[in-house]
Amino acid sequence: MLSVAEIVEDVRERGGRVTPQRVAVIEAIYGSTNHPTVDEIFDHIADSQPSLSRKTVYQIVYDLEEMGAISLVDVGTGQVRIDPTIEHEHDHFVCTECKGVFDIERTKPTVPQAQAFDFGNINSMDVVYRGVCKSCS
Ligand SMILES: [Zn+2]
Ligand SMILES: [Zn+2]
């Protein structure tokens, strides 16, 4: 996982504006280890950034995704989750009790060969494992 400073530098290099609000959102994302929802990020920084609206937080998150600084994953928990781990492909474990999302290292690439299919090319894959996490069991 990259550091907050590295992500901020990355945003700057990609031509993105580095505003205090963006930095606050990036810090909140990197301060969370559990693939937070956008609403959780908003709730977390609402007190320290009173002028920041929920809508703006959503916009910042989508901007960060567009810049490739984060990815957004839908692992079937009802809300899109923010994933700051973008340097390597990995799979996810979802706790069916607390909806916690944990990274699982992918040991070998298993994307099926594209030419095996008539419908088109496969560029990526998502694997979601479900179970009960340590703190819930
Ligand atoms: Zn759990
Ligand atoms: Zn992840």
Residue 137 counted as domain residue? no
**Same domain, residue pair 79 and 96:** no
* Secondary structure percentages of the chain, helix, strand, coil, to 5: 35, 15, 50
Please give the tally of structural domains in the chain.
Answer: 2
**Same domain, residue pair 102 and 77:** no
Dist. CA 51 → ligand 2 center (Å): 30
- 28 lies in which domain range? 4-83
**Same domain, residue pair 25 and 75:** yes
Per-residue tens of pLDDT for the chain, all 137 residues: 678 888 888 888 888 788 889 999 999 998 877 899 999 999 999 999 898 999 999 999 999 998 888 999 999 999 999 998 887 889 999 999 999 999 998 877 666 665 567 788 777 788 899 999 999 99
Last residue of a domain, one of 83, 101, 120: 83
CATH number at residue 31: 1.10.10.10
Six-digit token string for 54: 């929920």
**Same domain, residue pair 110 and 68:** no
**Same domain, residue pair 9 and 75:** yes
Between CA 29 and CA 38 the distance in angstroms is: 9
Residue 16 counted as domain residue? yes
Dist. CA 11 → ligand 1 center (Å): 33
* Beta-sheet pairing, 71-73 with 90-95: unpaired
- DSSP single-letter state for residue 128: E
- DSSP single-letter state for residue 112: P
Dist. CA 95 → ligand 2 center (Å): 13
